[in-house]
Chain A
Amino acid sequence: MESTQPNTSAREILKSFEGKDPATDFYQDSEFPTDITSICPDTKHRNYNKIFSKAQWLRYHEIYKPGTSNELFDKIDPSNIVQGIAGAAPFVSVLAALSEFPDRIKSIFNIQEKNPYGVYSVTFYINGAPREVIIDDHFPCYEWGKPLFSHSKANELWVLLIEKAWAKLFGSYTATEEGEIQEIFECLTGTPCTSIKAADLDQIVKNIPAWLKRGYILTATTSSSIKNAAGLAPAHTYPLIGVFQAGSHRVFKFRNPWGKIHWKGDFSEEWSGWTPELEKAVGYSKTEPGVFFMSAKDFEKHFVSIDCCFYNDKAHRKALNLKQEGKKASYFEFELKEPSEFCAAISQLNKKLQKDTYAYSPVDLFLMKQGDNSTLKKIGKTHSLLLVLLKK
């Protein structure tokens, strides 16, 4: 059954299937058809003839046969996420970073239980405003039945669904091949983010431990000029999950979503300097899958930036859609009765969906506190970022 009812929620669509036979009546999203245009509209793409043109679309239960573990969510373990053939590496990195907090992944999904009709939806934040993206459970697969794109080693459905919703948002899977980490965080969580240059080690050492303690989500991106020989993928993003001071060593702990390449320097598995004391101080265990450790010195050498998503499970979020007249700034007042953590961001139109000449604009975002006699005191730049309004 096809459904293209505008402004109908996934829950309403699911309800409309009640009592029907899922073998013959199931949801097919006509806005994102099961053909090659949803995979890759570009006939010159490197994988178009070799792989995409031969792809078959299978429903979830056809990929993971009954009897195998197949749930919408199981453990939501970041080490279970496998990147697919498209280069949606930044998206997969953000998913891996978010998966450190399973409830935050679940909160993106509006339907949180598997259903036989294949109706699902997620909420993404587009230009600050929440938007439901509805998807079905058909996924592009290789001729031999394995999913082409990102999936879960534990056969969980959520990885397939969220990447499909992301692809639908941009028009096709291959349209998601590039992306800014901050854009993706903002779109998936609605939360302001910031970026710090890796060279600014003092600021990193000062802020990161406290940010990790507060449950903020962090990633670090490698330089595009590093060689795979170092055991790091160039221009790739790794979830940063710990910073430790162990004696004279400052040690960073990362998740490695790029399974085939492993860090080979100091504090790696092969490193001969591990002592029981050091292992204890940083929580190193050879049995913990998909993580690695690195010295601050190597971090500074190989990485270019850290992105931080200021996720707070209890935060109050507000988004105002604005249109600037000429060069006129917008001003807003607010009052706090009690102390509060606060951050703000400006989201801009996504350049991927604008004219070639469109560029992100520098932004002014100033927060001032009103003092006696109405005087204003600038209390620091709030966290600002560039982001996403999709215009189709």
Chain B
Amino acid sequence: MKLEPGKYLLKAKLNGKGEEDSNEFSLVTYSEKPIKLQPVEKKETNTSKNFFIGLASAVKEKKDIGHECTFVHGWEKRFLFFVVENKGEKTCMVKLGFDDLKGMKLAKPFNISEDAIAIIVPPKTTECAYAGKVNFDIKPNVKWSLTNELQTEEPEETE
């Protein structure tokens, strides 16, 4: 494929290896222009977050959820993602409470209970949360209710 100038992230993984199988492999790149592959840790890449936010940025019709925030959700393969953009000056807390999560699991960093997540969105930022399919035999029918509240500022600690 033809690539335009810019920065790229390449993810390589073997799936479904048995415990006794070798997990050695090699990654081969072949390019017209020389490249330098720089290994990075997953946490440095924020891959899922940046990827879902990238998907949401392409959505033209975003839902206004108040406090100068917009909301987008969508499916990407087995993931259901939720993205909130806060254009305001104050931090918002968006809570999603789920009625039915059969065959799905909420990603850990966001869940505040088994059936609810909270997305804290500082001013002028975009944040996301997501849930993943864990049972592929069940057709998901995910429904949720959403609230968006300005987060109360914590009083500064004084000695």
Residues of chain A whose beta carbon lies under 8 Å from any beta carbon of chain B: 127-129, 186, 190-192, 310, 312, 314-325, 327-349, 354-355, 357-359, 361-371, 373-380, 382, 387, 389, 391
Contact = CB atoms under 8 A, between A and B. Distances in A.
Contact of A339 (B5, B53, B126): B5
Given A127-B24, A331-B39, A315 B30 contact: yes
A191 B45 CA distance: 28
Contact of A315 (B14, B20, B32, B42): B32
Contacts of A357: 18, 20-21
B59 interface: no
Instruction: Tell me what chain B mostly uses at the interface: helix, strand, loop, or mixed.
Output: mixed
Contacts, number: 257
Contacts of A318: 28-30, 35, 37
A376 B9 contact: yes
Given A335-B7, A342-B32, A128 B14 contact: no
A341 B31 contact: yes
* Smallest CB-CB A-B distances: 4 pairs: A128-B26, A375-B54, A329-B13, A340-B33
A169 to B, nearest CB: 17
Contact of B21 (A320, A361, A364, A370): A361
Given A331-B41, A334-B37, A369-B6, A340 B25 contact: no
A366 B47 CA distance: 11
B9 A324 contact: no
Contacts of B7: 333-335, 369-370
A339 B29 contact: no
Contact of B11 (A186, A319, A349, A364): A364
Nearest to B38: A333
Contacts of A338: 5, 33
Contact of A363 (B12, B22, B24): B12
B17 A361 contact: yes
Contact of A348 (B11, B14, B20, B47): B14
Contacts of A364: 11-15
A339 B35 CA distance: 12
Nearest to A362: B15
A84 to B, nearest CB: 30
B138 interface: no
